[in-house]
Amino acid sequence: MTNVDELKPKAVKSILVSQPAPNGNKKSPYASLAKKHELSIDFRSFIEVRGIPTKEFRKTKTNPLNYSAIIFTSRTAIKHFFRICAEMKIKMPQDTKYFCSSEAIALFLQKFIVYRKRKVFFGKLRGADLRALLLKHKKKEKFLLTGSAGRRSAICQFLYDNTFNFAEADIYETVASDLSDLEDIFYDMIVFFSPLGLKSLFHNFPDFKQNATRIAAFGPSTAKAVLDYGLRLDVKAPAPGTPSMALAISKYIKALPVEVEETV
């Protein structure tokens, strides 16, 4: 995962997107992008999610039955929470409350509980909605916040700041994927969607040099990570007029000098 020492602008013909490929969606914005600019676009997840082994979870002495309310901020958290419960032979009580950061996450609960017989709450628009719901139930409930090892979420900080009766439960972790097979493969552009993707890049290739490779980043935290790693940020989204990464890349390619775009 290095590149030739060509620092002058050149045509973008190959792109590596650091996410899994869309699931058979021919209407993917990247499919349209590839067709419009005659690009070769590959997808490769730079990170992997691994469930914390139940044996390791037991060592934390955390018993889900000791909590009257469970907080979920992702479908991954739901999946691994109920995996651990099943492996520990725990059946959550009918009156357990579930607080979810979005309706989509709340609906995912239907795979694991009898949805209508439980009390499920979710934020309808933004994180502020979930915070308001949590404050409403603060005095009555003992909360268990499920999440990823080594990462403190905004909701977690909110619970600390407002002195909730709660505990954290690390039930999965995000680790770097093995990208060793990409060592001698070069791309004109690499697209990142989280700081963890950049961490994975340097975990796999500590001596990575950007050179002529363009770097695209989605979101302010990802953009900051690009700069923190000493890389040049060429494409940033969302931005005025380019709310999506595909649109931002298209705009960047269009802005290249005509002679550059025609380079073979």
Please write down the HEC assignment for all residues of 206-249: CCCCCCCCEEEEECHHHHHHHHHCCCCCCEEECECCECCHHHHH
Phi/psi at 76 (5° precision): -60, -40
Q: Per-domain residue ranges for the chain?
A: 14-46+177-261, 51-173
- The pTM is what? 0.74
Query: What is the reported pLDDT for 167?
Result: 96
Using an 8 Å Cβ cutoff, are 133 and 123 in contact?
Answer: yes
Query: What is the reported pLDDT for 45?
Result: 96
Q: How far apart are CA 192 and CA 45, in angstroms?
A: 10
Q: How far apart are CA 118 and CA 89, in angstroms?
A: 19
**Could you tell me which CATH class the domain 14-46+177-261 is placed in?**
alpha beta
- Written as six digits, the tokens of 29 are 């914005």
Q: How far apart are CA 197 and CA 203, in angstroms?
A: 10
Query: What is the reported pLDDT for 5?
Result: 44
Contacts of 219 (CB under 8 A, 6+ apart): 193, 194, 237, 238
Residue among 178, 176, 182, 180 nearest 199 (CA): 176
- Written as six digits, the tokens of 182 are 């990409």
**pLDDT tens-digit profile, the chain (264 residues):** 645 444 556 899 999 999 999 876 567 899 999 999 999 999 999 999 999 999 999 999 999 999 999 999 999 999 999 999 999 999 999 999 999 989 999 999 999 998 766 689 998 765 568 899 999 999 999 999 999 887 667 889 999 999 999 999 999 999 999 999 999 999 999 999 999 999 999 999 999 999 999 999 999 999 999 999 999 999 999 999 999 999 999 999 999 986 555 554
Helices (H) and strands (E) in the chain, counts: 10, 11
Query: What is the reported pLDDT for 126?
Result: 56
Query: What is the reported pLDDT for 114?
Result: 83
Structure-token match 């739901």, residue found: 78
Domain 14-46+177-261 and domain 51-173, same fold? Reply is yes
For the CA atoms of 89, 90, 91, 93, what is the dihedral angle to 10 degrees?
160
Amino acid type, 42: D
Q: Does domain 51-173 have CATH number 3.40.50.10090?
A: yes
